[in-house]
């Protein structure tokens, strides 16, 4: 092989390598770029919680599990819960659904509550239940007004006085006066 032929063969090999590399780059890189740009989404996301933050990174909402039950909360700019809805269960509850509306400081709220016994509306003031309207299969339809106090140190609510008015199934009107948790007068 002559020197010119040898240089020509090297030049052709270099040019072919460059063209092959460029073509493979266009073919394979274009496909991965197209795959990255498609708007595919996951069909299922599994998590125990989701937090929504504003543009400053401050939490403004969450969807969480609380004691095994799902809760959706909306928070104001100061981080105080203003609206919550979810499911709850406990010693006396057989999984109830609820919606709670809170005032700015979080001490007062209105709760719409529904369980197997029936619907309830509960109003609290300074963490103390002051009014409740309920309809249940056992107690009938009743309305309760209460006064009391909340002790943050021991996290207890002390009910001083209550008046319970209602209609019991098959028994008629109900009226009870309650002082410190004990019935002091009740309608016959």
- The larger pLDDT score, comparing residue 19 to residue 37, is at 19
When divided into structural domains, the chain yields a total of 2
Q: Would 4 be classed as within a structural domain?
A: no
- 95 and 149 both lie in a single domain: no
Are 93 and 160 contained in the same domain? no
The order of strands in the sheet holding 128-136 is 49-53, 59-66, 69-75, 81-88, 96-102, 109-115, 118-125, 128-136, 140-151, 156-168, 172-179, 182-186
Q: What is the pLDDT of residues 91-129, one digit of tens each?
A: 655 678 999 999 988 777 898 988 877 888 888 887 777
Closest among 45, 56, 98, 100 to 79, alpha carbons compared: 56
- Per-residue pLDDT of 120-179, as tens digits, reads 888 888 777 788 888 876 767 888 888 876 665 555 556 677 888 888 777 788 888 888
Is the pLDDT at 185 greater than 80? The verdict is yes
Q: Note whether residue 110 is domain-resident.
A: no
On whether residue 170 sits in a domain, the answer given is yes
Residues 56 and 97 in one domain: yes
Give the whole-number percent of the chain exceeding pLDDT 90.
Answer: 21
Give yes or no for residue 1 having a pLDDT over 70. Answer: no
Same domain as 129, residue 89: no
Range of the domain at 60: 46-104
């Amino acid at each position: 092989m002559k020197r010119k032929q040898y240089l020509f063969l090297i030049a052709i090999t270099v040019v072919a390598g460059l063209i092959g590399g460029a073509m493979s780059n266009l073919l394979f890189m274009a496909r991965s770029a197209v795959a990255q740009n498609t708007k595919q989404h996951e069909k299922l996301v599994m998590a125990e919680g989701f937090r929504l933050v504003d543009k400053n990174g401050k939490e403004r909402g969450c969807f969480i599990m609380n004691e095994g039950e799902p809760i959706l909360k909306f928070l104001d700019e100061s981080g105080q819960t203003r609206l919550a809805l979810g499911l709850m269960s406990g010693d006396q509850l057989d999984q109830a659904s609820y919606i709670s509306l809170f005032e700015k400081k979080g001490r007062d709220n209105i709760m719409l509550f529904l369980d197997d016994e029936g619907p309830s509306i509960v109003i609290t003031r300074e963490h103390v239940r002051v009014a409740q309207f309920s309809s249940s299969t056992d107690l009938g339809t009743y309305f309760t007004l209460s006064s009391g106090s909340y002790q943050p140190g021991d996290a207890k609510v002390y009910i001083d006085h209550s008046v319970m008015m209602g209609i019991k199934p098959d028994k008629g009107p109900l009226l009870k006066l309650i002082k410190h948790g004990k019935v002091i007068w009740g309608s016959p």
